[in-house]
């Protein structure tokens, strides 16, 4: 009894973790289902059919391709813009700092439905057509703030003495940035870029306001499918994404922990 009491927090934590992961397990299980009707809600019979033919559902791979394309372009652009802002905030003193901080914070404090709808009114007034470009503009906009936060946290931990040391040793500002500042800030920039990609890839609400029938992203495809019956391939893709993330992040962790162990 005392043992249980002592580990109460651990039990609660594990229960919460289970709650967080149950849907992923269900998604994985149902990717092997052969549904009876068009609704994939009940496990009928084991089948790997969807795994051998992941593009089998009409339009699914086109939407996935579009989402990947938008995700990559939006996250790269947002990473460049956000990193520049983070460096300005973390490395320089200038007038208008608090206004800048507010402008960075606001998109994170605004519900997606407001951002999506307001952009729609802007595009309507300017006559910008809905579609891929409109989606890209929107995604870059809401990703920038998250990149700023991730990179700024990293930049704040960098010792400015290191940049001074580089200058002292004869590195001009460009060399100092490329050889010292950038490599040291890289983990923060990578984290920001990954976060931006996942936000862009996963966004439905804002995208829906700015999409056209010819620009169906993967979340929009899933949303549409949820009304008429979700193809098993959706679950296959969901599972692949989950496993891929685990593998990528764990490999990264392993490399960095091995590096740390060498250091220690």
Partner 1 sequence: MAEAAVLSTGSSAPPTRRRRNWVPYALLLPGLLWLVVFFVLPMVTLASQSLQEGNVDDGYTFTGNVGIYVDALKQYWPQFVRSFLYAGTATVLALLLGYPLAYFIAQKAGRYKNLVLVLVIAPFFTSFLIRTLAWRTILSDDWFVTTWAQKLHITDLLQAVGLTANDSLLSSKFAVIMGLTYNFLPFMILPLYTSLERLDPRLIEAAGDLYASPWQTFRKVTWPLSLPGVVAGTLLTFIPAAGDFINARLLGNTQTTMIGSVIDSQFLRVLDYPLAAALSFILLIVIVTMVSVYVRRAGTEELL
Partner 2 sequence: MSKQQGKGDLGLVALTKSFATFTAVHPLDLVVPQGSFFALLGPSGCGKTTTLRMIAGLEEPTSGRIRIGDSDITDTKAYQRNVNTVFQSYALFPHMSVLDNVMFGLRRRGDKDAKAKAKEVLELVQLEQVASKKPTQLSGGMQQRVALARALVNRPDVLLLDEPLGALDLKLRRQMQIELKRIQQEVGLTFIHVTHDQEEAMTMADSIAVMNAGRLEQLGDPATLYEQPRSTFVANFLGQSNLLRATVNPGGTDHVVTVRAHDTDLEVSREHLPEGVRDVWLGVRPEKLRLGEGGGPNQLRGIVRDVSFSGVATQYSVQMPWGQELIVVQQNDGTARAVLGETVTVSWAAQHGFALDASQDAEAGAELVDDHG
What is the greatest pairwise CA distance in the chain? 72
Among 53, 69, 164, 229, binds partner 2 (CB under 8 A): 164
Q: Quick check: 156 binds partner 2 (CB under 8 A)?
A: no
Q: Quick check: 252 binds partner 2 (CB under 8 A)?
A: no
Q: Binding marks (x or -) toward partner 2, 104..143, rule CB under 8 A?
A: ----------------------------------------
Q: Quick check: 263 binds partner 2 (CB under 8 A)?
A: yes
- Which of partner 2, partner 1, none interacts with 171 (beta carbon under 5 to 8 A by kind)? partner 2
Binders of partner 2 in range 165-184 (CB under 8 A): 165-173, 175-176, 179-180, 183-184
Three-class SS state of 135: helix
State the minimum distance, in angstroms, from the CB of residue 78 to partner 1. Answer: 9
Please, which residues bridge with residue 33 across strands? 46
Q: Quick check: 159 binds partner 2 (CB under 8 A)?
A: yes
State the minimum distance, in angstroms, from the CB of residue 150 to partner 2. Answer: 19
Would you say 204 and 223 are in contact if contact means Cβ atoms under 8 Å apart? yes
How far, CA to CA in Å, does 237 sit from each of 10, 70, 206, 218?
Answer: 32, 17, 22, 10
The owner of tokens 């940049």 is 163
Judging by beta carbons within 10 Å of its beta carbon (0-12, 13-18, 19+), is residue 49 exposed, middle or buried? Answer: middle
Among 10, 172, 174, 214, binds partner 1 (CB under 8 A): 10
Q: Quick check: 222 binds partner 2 (CB under 8 A)?
A: no
Burial 12-34 (b: 16+ CB within 10 A, else e): eeeeeeeeeeeeeeebbebbbbe
Q: Quick check: 209 binds partner 1 (CB under 8 A)?
A: yes
Q: Quick check: 231 binds partner 1 (CB under 8 A)?
A: no
Burial 112-134 (b: 16+ CB within 10 A, else e): beebbeebbeebeeeeeebebeb
State the minimum distance, in angstroms, from the CB of residue 87 to partner 2. Answer: 18
Q: Which residues bind partner 2 (CB under 8 A)?
A: 159, 161-162, 164-173, 175-176, 179-180, 183-184, 262-264
């Amino acid at each position: 009894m005392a043992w249980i009491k002592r580990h109460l927090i651990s039990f609660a934590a594990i229960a919460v973790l289970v709650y967080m992961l149950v849907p992923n397990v269900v998604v994985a299980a149902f990717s092997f289902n052969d549904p009876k009707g068009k609704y994939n809600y009940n496990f009928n019979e084991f089948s790997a059919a969807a795994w051998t033919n992941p593009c089998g559902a009409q339009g699914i791979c086109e939407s996935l391709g579009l989402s990947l394309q938008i995700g990559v372009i939006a996250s790269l652009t947002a990473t460049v813009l956000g990193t520049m802002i983070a460096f300005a905030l973390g490395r320089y003193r200038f007038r208008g700092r608090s206004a800048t901080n507010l402008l960075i914070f606001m998109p994170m404090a605004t519900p997606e439905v407001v951002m999506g709808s307001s952009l729609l009114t802007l595009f309507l007034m300017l006559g910008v057509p809905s579609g891929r470009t409109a989606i890209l503009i929107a995604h870059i906009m809401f990703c920038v703030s998250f990149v700023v936060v991730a990179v700024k946290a990293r930049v704040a931990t960098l010792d400015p003495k290191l940049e001074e040391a580089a200058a002292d040793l004869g590195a001009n500002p460009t060399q100092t940035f490329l050889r010292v500042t950038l490599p040291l800030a890289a983990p923060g920039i990578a984290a920001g870029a990954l976060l931006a990609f996942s936000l862009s890839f996963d966004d439905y609400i804002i995208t829906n306001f700015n999409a056209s029938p010819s620009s169906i992203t993967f979340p929009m495809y899933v949303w549409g499918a949820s009304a008429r019956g979700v193809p098993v391939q959706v679950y296959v893709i969901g599972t692949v994404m989950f496993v891929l993330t685990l593998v990528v992040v764990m490999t990264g962790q392993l490399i960095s922990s091995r590096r740390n162990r060498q250091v220690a």
